[in-house]
Structure 1
Amino acid sequence: MTVFLALNLGKSQSVPVACSAIEVFQKLGVSVILDKKAQPFFTQTTDLSFLQQDEAISACDVIITIGGDGTILHIARQSLGFEKPLFGINLGRMGFLATVEENELADKLERLVRGDYTLDKRRLLAVDVQGKNSFCQYALNDLVVFKKGIAQTVDVRIWCDEILVNHYQGDGVVVATPTGSTAYSLSAGGPVLDARISGLVVTPICAHSMHSPPMVFSAERKLRIQVMSPTQELALLSCDGLQEEAIFHDDIVSVSLSDRSISLICFNEADQFEAIDKKLKGR
């Protein structure tokens, strides 16, 4: 087995945790690859390979991130098309995607090598924007359309299969996958969806109405979002919080569940709910 350890070097604990993981893997006869950018931090560690990120993803059997959910979201996007399973070692605060904690490291890594795990396929959002600013992106967690200025609101209309289903005026709107239902959507008042459900949840952000509940749509539905305010660059769009793109008046944002997916390694059939119990309820 060959694993790629993808570190968030912005977190001080990532290098010592990686060293602990490398020690376990080397005892188990597993080959370890790291990104070339991490090489200066591992001058005292032998029998490692350092490759460019794309080469490392291509050469490995499994991707392991060391950081938080943001690190998984970043690597998930970079690894699209390679179809490599991944899991995350959590150094962040919450960890709904990166569910392996430091104190579980040795046990979970040994289980990985033994093949004692399951794969949980998580479908991605496909986002297609047409208009003054045209682009296509994928998202594992969510798409967010939000106001640019602190004193501005966004007037958003949402169609489902060409039928107008809602009109929000407020700070914006979140369209989340079941995977992303525990992220921004939850903070905005959306429901927690079982990650194995195939569907979409649309949650307004601080809507200026008491009658703007979140809405859950079937996986087969195709959504269309328009920012209706007739001004110049007013709103921004972000997929998984990784990049912001300007959205102009009457740009068409088409959103649907993609056939593309990411495979997350699970060591417990209820990893998602265990994480919710620990992180949200403080147990």
Structure 2
Amino acid sequence: MSFTRFASRSVLALIAGGVLLTDGCVLFSRITFTPSEPLGSVSPRLYCPGDGVTASFDLLRDTPCVSRPGLDCAALAPTIDIASSPTEFAPQRIVDFRGRVDFTPASGSVNVTFTPALRSYVEYPSGPASGTDFTRRRFTANTIAASRVDGDVMRQVEHGGMCAGSAPTHADGVVPGPPELSASLRLRRICNSSATQIILSVPGLPGEMIERSLAPGQCFLASEPGVPPDVAALRTYSVRAAVLDPNARCSAIEDRTPPTPLRTTVWMGCGM
């Protein structure tokens, strides 16, 4: 087995007596380093009145800490401070690899700051408890701004061209939402941002679809007469070009040229 010598004093201090030492160095079969990254996240970043917001951090991600003789993950956990400005929750000091604070903002905007209290990295044993794998993850203090939605939120959606067998088609649209946007946002309208006419399809009554032909710049309104209220909460919709792209080539036996992508713009707002 090939080994990597790692002489970090901080790691030596953490694992003294727990891992094989040779000539003052620790022998590891694998050491995983990760690039330094900003600490923490806030979701949603755009919230509606009355929404709950979560400030959280996760320094393990998909690489858990695995305790072993002489190395207790609880003893290796970092100390992270979380605070808000203006004050939306009492400042928190969390000693853990993961942590969260849930709060309901009363103000129109808030800055959440994540600060490492003692050190800006974690080192912990990972992989099988019988092994000698270590992970070192670095992070920096970070301030994240979140704000209340006033008016409408607009996002552009691209519908990539594809071939479904021999038929040109386009990817469905996904109405943007968490983790960036509030789950309380409701659809106001979908507009055609393409240079060509499109056919928009959204779910209607059970077993039915609502279709609208939209010229460039034209919009479908969720408040149109006859449109079920549930359409305001839809998460996906489909579009297709009213006229097939003459340059598209979809064949099972020849080279394929998907149709030109289409674009729509989704407008959302808080409340019904």
Q: Same fold (TM over 0.5)?
A: no
The TM-score with structure 1 as length reference comes to 0.22
The TM-score with structure 2 as length reference comes to 0.23
Q: Which has the higher helix share?
A: 1
Q: Which has the higher strand share?
A: 2
